[in-house]
Amino acid sequence: MNPTQHHIVRFRSPFAAIVAVATLALFGAPTRTIAAQTAPLQSLGDSGAVLASAGDPGIHIEASISQRRLFIKRGDEVLREYPVAVGQEGYPTPRGRFMIRRIVWNPRWTPPPNSEWARKLSAKEPGHPENPMKLVKIFFKEPDYYIHGTDQLSSLGSAASHGCLRMDPFDAADVAKYVMENGGQPREESWFWKILHVGREEKEVYLKNPVPITISE
């Protein structure tokens, strides 16, 4: 499916519904709902996230620059995959093996220092309509590189970012929830509801067990 073409289908989990309502509350009408996943997963729990076992060393994330795709994998088996936008020419996404240690929900945005492209831009608080960080940031090479939600869905599948990996906000939230569960920081659905739906407070989560991510050509 073309990443800019989205079909309205049923929510696959309570978490999907939470994220959809939160997106509506924080950023206005969502562009789509979370699509139902058709691939059967033995490890798929009631929450709708990839559960496997906490700290399972076979669980990891891979991103392909050439394919413009992000994968959640167990060993060589692909459990989930999502379209992403990668770094444009002049702002490449770093390649290599990294560890995800920190996640920020409802992130504020501060223009990166010493970046010509951001020189005339101003900081934006969580939930601000001009904040390019939607719903969540998943850091893989701090402080400058992370996976984050975007409202520029037409950029998915292309080289358009300043080095980060952009995702549909719903997909980014799905990945962040997976990372928390496999990184030793699981939360109840009510926790996500509170931080995403009730307010616009920035919330940091530090993983007890960092989750590996490999970014390759």
pLDDT for res 129: 86
Q: Taking the domains of the chain in order of start, what are their residue ranges?
A: 14-216
What is the value of pTM for the model shown?
0.76
pLDDT for res 32: 41
> Which residues, at least 6 apart from 57, have a Cβ–Cβ distance to it below 8 Å?
none
pLDDT for res 195: 79
pLDDT for res 211: 96
Chain-centroid distance of CA 57 in Å reads 21
pLDDT tens digits along 149-158: 999 999 999 9
Indicate the class that CATH gives domain 14-216. mainly beta
Phi-psi region of 50 (alpha: psi -120 to 50; beta: other; left: phi over 0): beta
Side chain identity, residue 101: R
Asked whether the beta carbons of 28 and 19 are under 8 A apart, the reply is no
Q: Which residues of the chain have pLDDT under 50?
A: 1-12, 24-54
Tally Cβ neighbours within 10 Å of residue 130.
10
C-alpha closest to that of 180 among 50, 43, 16: 50
Interaxial angle between packed helices 14-27 and 169-182, expressed in degrees from 0 to 180 and rounded to the nearest 10: 130
pLDDT for res 51: 37
